[in-house]
Amino acid sequence: MSVGSDWDRRFSDPSHPWSTEPDRLLVDLVDGLEPGRAVDLGAGTGRNSVWLASVGWDVTAVDASSVGLEKTREAAEAAGVEVKAVHQDLYRWSPAPATFDLVVMANLHPEPAHREQVFARSSEALVEGGHLFVVGHHADGIAKGAPGPPDPARRYTEDRLDGHFPGVRLDRLERIETGAADEGGSYDLVLLAWGVKVAGGGSPA
């Protein structure tokens, strides 16, 4: 089963209530930035894309799921904003260099074999001075029973993010407990990265 068809199935499941609220960490960090061009990688049903568009960003949502992108379009229309939807497998996604002022990777966990490629292309897509936002499930969360990919190799650690976005200086790299994951009191543990594309960062090989 392809990545896109697997997520099509998940996004079509009426028993799963996909959130329409933007990631609170993204909201906090983007507050105060001058709106520009943003790309939401692995946009899913568009909760971050639609919010960014609502506060003035020119947003491109990229996802392998056509169902997720259709939900993004519907949410954007309901909110009275415009989001450009791009149906693309991120392992094949190749943006034009220096295109975006903000790259968002929220709960996107590439397979280890493709991680460096996705990170490098994300960096390449940023303009000088542009910002990178990454948040995902920490590998240590598995022992806590927290949600996220069952394969620990796909989860994030500090070492898997720090120094792996060419030309991007990570100004914040932090483990955060985000809230109760189940009735037993387990907490979701995520890793947040926030950085800026510096002068002379160059393009990844």
Q: What is the CATH number of the domain that holds 90?
A: 3.40.50.150
Query: Residue 4: inside a domain, yes or no?
Result: no
pLDDT in tens, 79-124: 999 999 999 999 999 999 999 999 999 999 999 999 999 999 999 9
Q: Considering the domain boundaries, does residue 90 fall inside one?
A: yes
In a domain, 165, yes or no: yes
| Whole-number Å distance between alpha carbons of 49 and 78 | 13
Amino acid at 128: E
Q: What is the pLDDT of residues 23-80, one digit of tens each?
A: 999 999 999 899 999 999 999 999 999 999 999 999 999 999 999 999 999 999 999 9
- Give pTM, 2 decimals: 0.89
What are the backbone dihedrals phi and psi of residue 73, each rounded to the nearest 5 degrees, phi first? -60, -45
Residue 123 lies in a domain: yes
Tell me which DSSP letter residue 95 carries. P
For the chain, the average pLDDT equals: 88
Continuous segment of H or E residues that includes residue 128: strand 126-137
Burial letters 98-122, b for 16+ CB under 10 A, else e: eebbbbbbbbbbbeeeebebbbbbb
Domains: count for the chain = 1
Q: Is residue 184 part of a domain?
A: yes
The number of C-alpha atoms within 13 Å of 80 and in the hemisphere containing its C-beta is 1
Does any domain span residue 143? yes
Has residue 111 been placed in a domain? yes
In a domain, 52, yes or no: yes
pLDDT digits 0-9 by tens, 156-186: 999 999 999 999 999 999 999 876 544 444 5
Structural domain including 177 reads 35-197
